[in-house]
Structure 1
């Protein structure tokens, strides 16, 4: 019996990137369908989020995300450019955001086709894996192709159906909160949330308790 779970994900979240490849591998190895539910990052949903955090929060996060990447052997480099346009010194979020809206809508368009997890993994590997100017040239087109998708088709949908996609993205956010959390990455399985890249093994353990089996060769 195929199990099902929802993965709430943000293209601006380094921990979402550090988790998604392992969730993709889980879905390939185990008989579970993990549905990508992209959400806009806190920088968009709560622009004052960074101002409200402890001053050590950002420094610790930078230290930890590089450490996690090294521990798991995941390529990692600062995004160039950052998916969110933000003043590094003041932490102020710019009104014009040319990257994150496009990427999140692309992710939702991919999810409509049942390939959200693959697309998000391939795209996040560009953004957080060290690809310079990941938004230019053939970077995203090739990432989409590796996920079995056509970037031109996704981009056209992201433009022509922006309102509908945003409604679905906002519904994802509501579902995340209804599932018991607010941050990403969060996997929700049978109403139980597993927040963070360090809860993947525990999520797998819970699914195994519910009868999860490996896919047949």
Structure 2
């Protein structure tokens, strides 16, 4: 028996990156089908979020994400470039966003093919794993290939079917909120949300209560 869950994920979220590889490993080891459901980050959904946050929020977040990466032995480095174009001093979000729309749409295109989890993990390793200029050359093409996908095909779909993909991405956000949360990463299993990279073991525990078994 294979169980099913949805993983709500953002390519700009460092905690999504710190969770995605562990969820991918879970899906490979256990009889759980985890469907990736990409959403646009807060910077797109609520552009003033960073401007109205507590001054200590950013410093603590950077400290914590580095600590989590070290604890789990996950390669980590600030994204170069950041998937969101933002003024680091004023925290203002630029109206021109050349990266995040492409990433999220091709992530949804990968999810349409049932390979979203693998693509998100491979792409996130480029963005958050310390690589430089992840958006150039054949970096993303390699990530897509490692997930069993073709980047040119995904990019063409992201361009030609952008409106439908965006509708699916917005539906993902609505499903996340209907599932009981608003942030990422959140795994929703049988209508129960597990928010954060520190809830993975608890999600596994709940699934085991529901009969989850290791793959044969």
TM over 0.5: yes
- Give CA-to-partner distance per residue, 1:89-138, whole Å, 9 cap, x none: 00000000000000000100000000000000000000000110000000
Post-superposition offset of 1:52:
1.7
Within a 5 Å distance, the mapping from 1:135-174 to structure 2 comes to 135-174=135-174
Counterpart-to-counterpart distance in 1, 2:96 and 2:52: 22
Within a 5 Å distance, the mapping from 1:60-139 to structure 2 comes to 60-139=60-139
Post-superposition offset of 1:51:
1.4
The DSSP-based 3-state class of the residue aligned with 1:167 is helix
Equivalent residue number for residue 182 of structure 2:
182
- Give CA-to-partner distance per residue, 1:178-207, whole Å, 9 cap, x none: 000000000000000000000000000000
Post-superposition offset of 1:53:
1.2
Post-superposition offset of 1:15:
0.1
Counterpart-to-counterpart distance in 1, 2:71 and 2:52: 30
The DSSP-based 3-state class of the residue aligned with 1:149 is coil
Which runs of 5 or more structure 2 residues have no equivalent in the other structure?
A: none
The DSSP-based 3-state class of the residue aligned with 2:8 is strand
The DSSP-based 3-state class of the residue aligned with 1:6 is strand
The DSSP-based 3-state class of the residue aligned with 1:50 is coil
Counterpart-to-counterpart distance in 2, 1:51 and 1:206: 37
Greater Cα offset, 70-79 or 51-60: 51-60
Counterpart-to-counterpart distance in 2, 1:5 and 1:84: 28
Query: Across the two proteins, how many residue pairs are aligned to each other?
Result: 216
The DSSP-based 3-state class of the residue aligned with 1:88 is coil
Please list every run of at least 4 consecutive aligned residues from structure 1 whose deviation after the TM superposition is greater than 3 angstroms: none
Within a 5 Å distance, the mapping from 1:17-32 to structure 2 comes to 17-32=17-32
Post-superposition offset of 1:79:
0.2
Which runs of 5 or more structure 1 residues have no equivalent in the other structure?
A: none
